Structure formats: C-alpha cells, structure tokens
Amino acid sequence: MELATVIGLVLGLISIFVGMILKGAPLSAMNNPAAFLIIIGGTFSCLFIGFRMDQLKNFPTLFKKTFFKNNLQSPVELRNTFVELSQLARREGLLALESRIQEIDDPFFRNGLSMVVDGLEQEFVSDVLDAELAIMQARHAENRSMFSQAGTYAPTLGVLGAVVGLIAALGNLNDIEKLGHSIAAAFVATILGIFTGYVLWLPLCNKLKILSEQEIGQKRMIIEGILSLQAGDSPSAIEAKLMVFIPQSVRETLKEE
C-alpha cells in the first residue's frame, strides 16, 4: 500500500472540512447533488469526449495503481542478479543462462535474456529493448494524461457550476433568505472543482509519473546489465556499471557491508 496517497487524500478532506468549520461555513452546504453532478459528471463527460474507449478502460486500474507501490525488483537485487548471471556465464558460457530464464518474473528482463541466449547481435538486442522501453514510456504518458486533463477540466467546470448557481440565485432576488442560500450553494461547485482538480486528479497524475519513472529506471538498468552480459564483461565490471543506478546513500551502505 502506498500510504502517502492515502494520507494525502485524508489530509485533503480534513483540511477542506475543518477549514469550512473554522470559517463558519456549514458542512450541510456540501449536500448539493447538483454541484456533484456538474463537477464529477462533467469531468468524466469531458474525458469520454477527449479520449478513446480503450484508453478509458484503463482509468480504474490506473487509479488503483496510485494506492500501491511498484512491484519491482530493487536496484540492489537487480545488481546481485546480474552479478550471479555473469559468474554463471563466465564458468559455463552464455547458453548456461537458459536455465535461469524461467526463474525471471519480469517479461522485459526475460525477453532480453532470451535474445542473448539465442545469440542475436548486440545491436539488434539493444534496438529491440530500447524500442520496447520507448513504447512503454509513450503508453504511460498517454495514460496519465487522462488525469492531467481531468485536473484541467474540473476547476473550469467549478466556475461553470458557480455561474449556473448564480443564475438560479437571480431568480430569488425578492427573497433575501433564499438569495443568500442560493449564492452559497452556487460556490459549492467551485469548491468541488478546485478540490478535485488540484487535490485529486493532478496529484494522482504526478504519482503515476513517479511510478512510471521508477519502472523506466529499472528497465534502463536491465538493458545495461543484459548488454554487459552479452559483451562478456566481468562480474566486477558489471557491478561497477550497475552501481550508477543505485542511490548514493545506498551505495555507501553497500560499501560498508
């Protein structure tokens, strides 16, 4: 579980509701189905207009993904794996790596190692893995754009909701009590629009970007390790190359060990 996402959402809700209380605004004002319909319904209607259906089918999965950490091998684990593979290849040759392929869970890693075992040219292996990584980056950017666009639409729809509410308020000019209530209700849509846009959709978009960058960094490390294996680099040389992907603080700990 990615606790940062949960904590952020809870703090966001507490901030808005406690802030309303401190400002003297009644929480009952949020009981405004029309505002929720305009903001939530309007945001998703914009997404349906702006994106393809096959993209929108990924939205629930992407939303859920922001609540969980990437299930990736750590850089240290990857380094150790490649050092072991290089030691095996030095003793028994690259063909001996075939016995280890099925033990690897990551399809990207497994595919790259399979190409090395099959004896394909290094340039070809590099091109295939780089192309796969580039396509993955483009796919991730396309997916998270749904969240960035939702964050753009929601605040604007909040203004639309406020205008609709003010139009309704103008119909009660003769009744001061109803007029005040209508004006207050009109700005609930603005609150919802700004809140969902800047506290929900855009931060979730940023979280997806961070998760994507973590995965891309892991894939770059895998590419470097696979090409080093294929080139016949020594275990110590591969270890030195892969250390650049490990944070400096972790490197210091590894050196002490």
For residue 184, pLDDT beyond 80: no
Which among 212, 231, 222 is positioned nearest to 130, based on CA atoms?
Answer: 222
> Domain extents for the chain?
35-66+81-245
CA distance 137 to 158: 32
pLDDT for 158 equals 93
Q: Would you place residue 32 in the very low, low, confident or very high pLDDT band (cuts 50, 70, 90)?
A: confident
Mean pLDDT for the chain overall: 91
pLDDT for 4 equals 93
For residue 256, pLDDT beyond 70: no
- Region 155-180 average pLDDT: 82
Share of the chain above pLDDT 70, in %: 97
Tens of pLDDT, residue by residue over 98-119, are 988 988 999 999 999 999 999 9
Q: What sign results for the dihedral spanned by CA atoms 111, 92, 227, 251?
A: positive
pLDDT for 254 equals 74
For residue 257, pLDDT beyond 70: no
Q: For residue 203, what are its two tokens? A: 């931060």
**Residues 13-25 as b or e (16 or more Cβ within 10 Å = b):** eeebeeeeeeeeb
Q: What pTM did the predictor assign? A: 0.90
CA distance 205 to 146: 8
For residue 63, pLDDT beyond 70: yes
CA distance 162 to 38: 10
DSSP conformation class of 94? G
Q: Looking at 22-31, 48-57, 59-68, 169-178, which range is the least confident one?
A: 169-178
CA distance 83 to 95: 16
CA distance 246 to 155: 40
Tens of pLDDT, residue by residue over 68-91, are 888 888 999 999 999 999 999 999
φ/ψ of 106, rounded to 5, equals -70, 115
Q: For residue 198, what are its two tokens? A: 């800047």
CA distance 166 to 68: 41
CA distance 215 to 12: 28
CA distance 124 to 230: 12
* Residues in the chain, overall count: 257
CA distance 110 to 225: 12
The amino acid occupying position 98 is E
